[in-house]
């Protein structure tokens, strides 16, 4: 069989060191010599970006630059109360840095807990060390599920098969022999061996893989990209509006320069929704900290959001629904064989595999090798692709034979009598292995053909105690669960049924290979057995072709390809290193019950950011429209920066912080930008129209030196009340703390209006009775218009919402 060898691309500039150390490994002196020479695997920190990167990302932003320049201007030309917006930005940026730094610490500590410890040979003994302690020429032992962490060359190979799909895309395992090169990132699927490290540290491909696969990142998510899109459009609107405002206030209006500058800045600052980006970062960072406390390692931050959007979760039975361990419950010897003889064969088979899987481990525990009459002359490790293992055993009397141990429906013909008994046992949820004697040589590609059945080994799997509740949670959240396993379909179906997961059971060998047929079978079925590793990968692709967002869980090497291609890969901490390397989420406590927490955290982040985004963008829309109206009518801009700082703090900043961190079980919905802008635009238009109407009426009503302050105060009252109504809508459905939050914000504004020194500080003074009550009346009309408009928007797009799996932001809030 010909395979593509990923090692063909080894850099010829770096020849392999010579002479090679012995297979027994390096001595302590040789290790010390290499460490002193710097030939150590000093890979970069794998889990997060540096503190400097965090500070830079939070401080040096486009909008911080705009706000910073405006703040410096205001510090020069206006009282300190008109510069409060700058201090708010400093506080918000500081909060963002602190929260992300806490997330970094959590992620770093969890990465250390979940880090693999390779087995190397030092002074003739096998010891486990940290990845960063490997030195050049170390001899590293490796077995099924282990990933090569540095580049090297094989010095030992025992029926060794290596998967290089992460490097080449080729799914078929590659047979390796001593002398063949190995690239980091490949992993063993069968057999075992040892290789000598030839490239370590940053020279090895592993360093690049680890840094890319485990980077703390805030990109590549619909939420983040949606916010970026919104900010891009805001910038386009803000630039001409700001330029027009500057010209109008400084050139057209012949007023005091300082006051004109202050009002110009007051018109530009609220156009910037800088807090939205910061709040999203803080919400994600807090999510990492919360999940970290539950021993959940989030290797890519958007995975929190991604799992919340998942509508189909594919579960591997072994290690996910069941615990890794198994117990032999019965041995059924078939005609022509004696039980003692069969027990001895099973013992010898167990002894022949240096790295037994869970099934063989149960057999070893049940039938320990206490005889020296058997000797293994050749072995064939278990492979998930062929579904069996084997060995050529030499008995004490000199007679030898080839024995196979694996899936009965793979080793036997369809009409074999033993299959009937196997099916009955599978229906009870038991796992059955067949011990068969082969008539062909072990190296024969068709060694299983004509094998003679000797015994059925019945094993019972240990169900995870939390699996049933977790499956029930997914069902309640309308997330479909698909059990995809390499085991017998009937047996897997019985296990699923015990856990309360009902549905059609399908043998994957009968599923069409073409994508459309496979997708249809996946839509109709729930439990799939006898799935090959390649089929698992194809199944994920078939589900994605139907528009599903797919999560895949697993812990074995046969899950790696599917985990890699799924939208979200979830690996168990006790699983193989290969699965942990490609998964976005690692459950370090091996608890399937942690998944609902991840889903809930993602939903909290997405749902709450969608809520508060409406608050921020309503402000942006009415700020731009007010600037346009001022430019068109050539009047003084209604507000000083202190007014809008007060309004933004009470109706957006403080409420948004609490709303963004509140519990939210709402299912994540697609099309973030469209859904938010659908409500932000009419909300901003109503707020701007009501505020400007009050301002113009007040301009005709008041006369004299203090007329501008009175006009501004009336317009501020209207804008505050309309913004409070927007907040009241967004805060629905009401709970006691939401009602208290809205009431507290209203009470704080009332306090400003009645306390003399606060009136003076914020330049708010309501004059007379007629105009303030008219301002209230206009705000009431605007509130009614908001209710009507948002309800109309909700009715206008019902079909689209259902097609998206989304109700509008207004519907979800009410």
User: Which residues are catalytically annotated?
Assistant: 316
Instruction: Output phi, psi for 218, to 5 deg.
Output: -115, 15
Q: Which residue has the tokens 């022949």?
A: 352
Closest-CA residue to 673 (of 804, 550, 511): 804
Residue with tokens 């889990």: 47
**Which of 99, 217, 88 is CA-nearest to residue 660?**
99
Residue 358: both structure tokens together: 């869970």
Contact predicate 120/127, CB 8 Å: yes
The closest of 342, 318, 322, 320 to 331, measured between CA atoms, is: 342
| Cα–Cα dist 67/301, whole Å | 28
Region class of 398: left (phi > 0), else alpha (psi between -120 and 50), else beta: left
User: Phi-psi bin for 636: left (phi > 0), alpha (psi -120 to 50), beta?
Assistant: beta
CB atoms within 10 A of CB 313: 25
From residue 321, give the alpha-carbon distance in Å to each of 177, 262, 698.
36, 64, 69
And the tokens for 688? 């701007």
Beta-carbon-side half-sphere exposure of residue 666 (alpha carbons within 13 Å): 25
Q: From CA 122, how far away is CA 29, in angstroms rounded? A: 10
> What's phi and psi for 44, nearest 5 deg?
-70, 160
User: How does DSSP classify residue 667?
Assistant: P
Alpha-carbon gap, residue 570 to 359, rounded angstroms: 23
Structure tokens at 92: 């918000």
What is the residue whose two structure tokens read 């913004």?
723
Task: Collapse the DSSP code of 422 into the 3-class scheme (helix H, G, I; strand E, B; otherwise coil) and give the result.
Answer: helix
**For residues 166 and 564, is the Cβ–Cβ distance under 8 A?**
yes
Token pair of 212, please? 């890319």
Beta strands in 279-346 (DSSP E): 296-298, 312-315, 322-333
Q: At what angle do helices 595-633 and 467-476 cross, to 10 degrees?
A: 30
Q: Is 406 helix (H, G, I), strand (E, B) or coil?
A: strand
Q: How many CA atoms lie within 13 A of 667 on its CB side?
A: 17
From CA 648, how far away is CA 495, in angstroms rounded? 55
Distance between CA atoms of 261 and 253, rounded to whole angstroms? 11
How many CB atoms are located within 10 Å of the residue 295 CB? 17
Q: How far apart are CA 396 and CA 163, in angstroms?
A: 37
Structure tokens at 108: 């770093």
758, with CB counted inside 10 A (0-12, 13-18, 19+), is: middle
Residue 571 class from Cβ within 10 Å (0-12 exposed, 13-18 middle, 19+ buried)?
Answer: buried
Q: What is the 3-state secondary structure (H, E, C) of 75-102?
A: HHHCCHHHHHHHHHHHHHHHHHHHHHHH
Token pair, residue 361, equals 């481990």
Beta bridge partners of residue 332, listed in sequence order: 456
Whether 667 and 798 have beta carbons less than 8 Å apart is answered as: no
Is 755 within 8 Å of 745 (Cβ atoms)?
no
As a three-state string, the secondary structure of 179-209 is CCEECECEEEEEEEEEEEEEECHHHCHHHHH
């Amino acid at each position: 069989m010909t395979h593509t060898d990923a090692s063909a691309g080894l850099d010829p500039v770096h020849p392999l060191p010579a002479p090679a150390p012995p297979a027994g490994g390096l001595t302590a002196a040789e290790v010390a010599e290499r460490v002193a020479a710097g030939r150590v695997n000093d890979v970069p920190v794998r889990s997060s970006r540096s503190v400097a990167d965090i500070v830079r990302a939070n401080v040096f932003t486009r909008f911080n630059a705009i706000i910073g320049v405006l703040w410096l201007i205001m510090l020069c030309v206006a009282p300190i109360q008109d510069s409060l917006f700058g201090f708010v930005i400093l506080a918000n940026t500081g909060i963002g840095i602190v929260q992300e730094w806490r997330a970094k610490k959590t992620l770093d500590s969890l990465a250390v807990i979940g880090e693999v410890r390779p087995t190397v040979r030092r002074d003739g003994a096998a010891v486990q060390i940290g990845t960063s302690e490997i030195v050049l020429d170390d001899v590293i032992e490796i077995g099924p599920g282990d990933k090569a962490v540095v580049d090297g060359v094989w010095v030992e190979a025992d029926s060794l098969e290596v998967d290089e799909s992460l490097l080449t895309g080729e799914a078929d395992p590659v047979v390796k022999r001593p002398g063949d090169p190995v690239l980091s990132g490949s992993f063993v699927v069968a057999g075992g061996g040892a290789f000598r490290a030839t490239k370590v540290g940053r020279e090895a491909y592993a360093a690049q893989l680890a840094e890319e696969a485990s980077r703390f990142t805030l990109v590549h998510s619909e939420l983040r990209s949606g916010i970026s899109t919104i900010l891009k459009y805001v910038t386009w609107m803000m630039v001409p509006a700001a330029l027009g405002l500057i010209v109008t206030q400084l050139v057209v209006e012949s007023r005091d320069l300082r006051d004109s500058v202050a009002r110009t800045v007051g018109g530009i600052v609220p156009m910037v929704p800088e807090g939205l980006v910061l709040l999203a970062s803080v919400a994600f960072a807090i999510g990492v900290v919360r999940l970290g406390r539950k021993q959940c390692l989030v290797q890519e931050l958007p995975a929190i959001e991604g799992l919340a959007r998942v509508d189909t979760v594919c579960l591997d039975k072994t290690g996910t629904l069941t615990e890794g361990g198994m117990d032999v419950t019965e041995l059924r010897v078939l005609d022509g064989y004696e039980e003692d003889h069969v027990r001895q064969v099973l013992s010898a088979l167990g002894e022949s595999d240096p790295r037994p899987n869970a099934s063989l481990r149960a057999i070893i525990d049940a039938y320990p090798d206490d005889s020296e009459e058997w000797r293994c002359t050749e072995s064939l490790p278990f492979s998930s692709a062929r579904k069996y293992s084997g060995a050529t055993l030499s008995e004490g009397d000199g007679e030898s034979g080839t024995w196979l141990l694996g899936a009965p429906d793979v080793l036997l013909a369809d009409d074999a009598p033993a299959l009937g008994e196997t099916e009955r046992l599978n229906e009870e949820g038991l796992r059955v292995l067949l011990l068969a004697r082969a008539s062909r040589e072990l190296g024969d590609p068709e060694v299983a053909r004509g094998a003679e059945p000797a015994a059925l080994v019945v094993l019972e799997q240990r169900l995870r105690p939390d699996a049933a509740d977790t499956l029930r949670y997914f069902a309640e959240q309308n997330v479909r669960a698909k059990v995809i396993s390499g085991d017998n379909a009937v047996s897997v179906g019985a296990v699923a049924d015990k856990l309360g997961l009902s549905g059609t059971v399908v043998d994957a060998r009968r599923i069409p290979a073409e994508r459309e047929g496979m997708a249809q079978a996946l839509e109709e079925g729930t439990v799939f057995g006898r799935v090959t590793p390649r089929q698992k990968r194809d199944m994920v692709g078939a589900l994605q072709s139907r528009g599903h967002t797919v999560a895949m869980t697993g812990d074995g090497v046969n899950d790696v390809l599917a985990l890699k291609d799924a939208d979200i890969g979830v690996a168990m901490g006790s699983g193989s290193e290969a699965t942990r390397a490609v998964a976005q989420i690692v459950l370090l406590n091996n608890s399937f019950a942690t998944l609902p927490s991840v889903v809930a955290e993602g939903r909290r982040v997405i749902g709450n950011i969608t809520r508060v985004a409406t608050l921020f963008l309503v402000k942006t829309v009415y700020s731009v429209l007010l600037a346009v109206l001022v430019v068109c009518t050539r009047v003084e801009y209604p507000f000083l920066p202190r007014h809008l700082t007060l309004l933004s703090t009470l109706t957006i900043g403080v409420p948004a912080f609490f709303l963004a961190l509140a519990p939210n079980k709402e299912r994540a919905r697609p099309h973030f930008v469209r859904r938010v802008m659908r409500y932000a635009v009419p909300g901003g238009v109503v707020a701007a129209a009501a505020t400007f109407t009050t301002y113009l009426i007040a301009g005709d009503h008041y006369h004299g030196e203090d007329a501008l302050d009175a006009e501004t105060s009336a317009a501020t009252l209207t804008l505050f009340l309309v913004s409070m109504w927007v907040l009241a809508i967004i805060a629905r459905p009401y709970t006691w703390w939401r009602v208290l939050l809205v009431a507290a914000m209203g009470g704080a504004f009332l306090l400003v209006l009645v306390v003399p020194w606060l009136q003076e500080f914020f330049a708010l003074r309501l004059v007379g009775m007629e105009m303030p009550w008219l301002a209230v009346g206009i705000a009431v009309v605007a509130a009614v218009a908001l209710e009507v408009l948002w309800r109309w928007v909700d009715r206008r797009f019902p079909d689209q919402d259902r097609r998206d799996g989304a109700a509008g932001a207004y519907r979800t809030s009410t």
